[in-house]
Amino acid sequence: MTDPEKKTLRVALLGCGTVGREVVRLIESQSDDLTARVGAELQIAGIAVRRGGRDRGVDPALLTTDAHGLAVRDDIDLVVEVVGGIEPARSWLVDALKAGKSVVSANKALLAEDGATLQEAAAAGGADLYYEAAVAGAIPILRPLRESLHGDRITRITGIVNGTTNYILSSMDSTGAGFNEALDEATELGYAEADPTADVEGFDAAAKAAILASLAFHTRVTAADVHREGITEVTAADVASARAMGCTVKLLCIAERHTDADGGESVSVRVHPAMLPRTHPLASVGDAFNAVFVEADAAGQLMFYGRGAGGAPTASAVLGDLVAVARNRLAGARATPESPYADLRIRPMAEARTRYHISLDVSDKAGVLAEVAAAFARQDVSISTVRQEGRGDDATLVAVTHTATDAALAATVEALRELPIVRNVVSVMRVEGGESK
Ligand code: NDP
Ligand code: HSE
């Protein structure tokens, strides 16, 4: 039990990398203000790292390589986890929460994989679990979803929630930079995950999508429920094609509420690259910035925008949570945890409806267009526009569909691949932000 008279709250910091270093800097540089805002001093009592014996610009006496021992130590009130990964972070946090220590974490991978276990441990220990930094860096989005919009009914969230991939796609679009060159820059700037595969293959965005969908739809959504495609297949030609259509390519996370045929409701959650009209509010989100576009019945459309990655922006969100859990601790209170009471069905990707941009390498001869159009028609996929680029052996046919299900589109692509006149299905990309579903 915290002593109500205690005027110091002792913080265990797990991790002192890109984000952890900035957490230390903010706690130290804003010490007086934080004390005034919390009503007690926030004192860093220990810092866990993986590799000892390195100068990290912090008091060496605070450093330890025993993260678990630090997290459960009797004198610790609050734990900040900025390490990442599932294990051993999960075990440290479960034990800390069960021991009554409130936790602030930026670990979206863990929260999306097994947030339920952490919530149960928090309930068992009467502790808080806050994780604003886990989604969209500095942007306050989780608190608005779980507090400000709690009286509303959210219907859809469309977000750019991965800074690294947005940096890469924006560079490819604006400067014609190559994929690898832009990824190296994003890594150098501290945006990428320890293993950037998590960024470029969409795992990081999928984890954030699961967290957003869980809060928005009061339903337990895990990373495994999210349809995920990364940006490694996006080519300079796709970016140029998008440009020709007045679009840009973005890695989007889309979480939607649907009404089913039986009148019940379901949710779909997906992450994939998509062409987006340049007039869409998300199209102008460049560099490593993130934005989350929320649609709700009463509030209408809301857009949250800001720095989605990097040490200082992420530390800002961590500090906001730290102040909140510290205040709760002093008040002897605990935030009401989110309830997955709605328990909506998760729709499979096959049922998702959107538009598609399909680029085909075809023989340039009479009747090609008719054969291609017939393949779409057989699956009931309606074509909105079609154009031919090049001639002879270089002919490319580009079709954009009206809204269709993913299943119908997949069957169409399969059929196109079988047509002798189609030499290659060059690319298939979804088109978002246009006609209604
Ligand atoms: P870094 O890789 O820069 O830092 C990770 C830190 O954790 C390092 O200090 C590392 O120690 C320490 N660590 C790793 N394994 C252990 C272990 N077994 N025991 C003790 N310490 C360990 O990561 P970031 O700071 O970039 O990210 C941290 C978390 O924040 C991740 O969950 C990430 O997804 C999340 N996040 C990151 C953002 C960003 O922009 N970077 C934005 C939003 C969230 P050592 O220094 O010795 O290697
Ligand atoms: N690697 C992540 C990104 C960090 O690029 O968005 C922020 O969560």
The per-residue pLDDT for 6 is 55
Predicted model pTM: 0.96
Residue of the nearest CA to atom 8 in ligand 2? Answer: 309
The per-residue pLDDT for 5 is 59
The neighbouring-strand residues paired with 8 are 41
CB-CB contact of 128 with 135 (8 Å): no
Determine whether the annotation assigns residue 193 to a binding site: yes
Pocket test for ligand 2, best of 19, 141, 160, 193 (most atoms within 8 A of CB): 193
The per-residue pLDDT for 391 is 76
Looking from the CA of 54 toward its CB, the CA atoms found within 13 Å total 10
Question: Dihedral (C-alpha) 74, 78, 80, 86: value to the nearest 10 degrees?
Answer: 60
Pocket test for ligand 1, best of 83, 92, 287 (most atoms within 8 A of CB): 83
**CA 346 – ligand 1 centroid, Å:** 31
Domains of the chain (ranges plus CATH)?
8-137+312-331 (3.40.50.720), 142-308 (3.30.360.10), 349-431 (3.30.70.260)
Q: Which residues lie closer than 8 Å to 286 by C-beta, 6 or more apart?
A: 166, 170, 174
Q: Is 437 a catalytic residue?
A: no
Q: Is the CB of 46 under 6 A from ligand 1?
A: no
Counting from 1 in the atom list of ligand 1, the atom nearest the Cα of 190 is: 41
The per-residue pLDDT for 364 is 77
The per-residue pLDDT for 435 is 56
Neighbours of 21 (CB within 10 A): 21
The per-residue pLDDT for 162 is 97
CB-CB contact of 17 with 31 (8 Å): no
Q: Is the CB of 308 under 6 A from ligand 1?
A: no
* Sites in the chain below the pLDDT cut of 50: 1-2
CB-CB contact of 166 with 289 (8 Å): yes
Q: Which residues lie closer than 8 Å to 179 by C-beta, 6 or more apart?
A: 168, 172, 232, 234
The per-residue pLDDT for 1 is 45
Q: Tell me what percent of the residues of the chain surpass a pLDDT of 90.
A: 89
For strands 154-160 and 345-346, give the pairing: unpaired
| Catalytic member of 7, 208, 250, 365 | 208
The per-residue pLDDT for 218 is 98
What is the full DSSP assignment across 365-428?
STTHHHHHHHHHHHTTPPEEEEEEES-GGG-EEEEEE-SEEHHHHHHHHHHHHH-TTEEEEEEE
**CA 187 – ligand 2 centroid, Å:** 10
**CA 161 – ligand 2 centroid, Å:** 8
SS3 223: helix
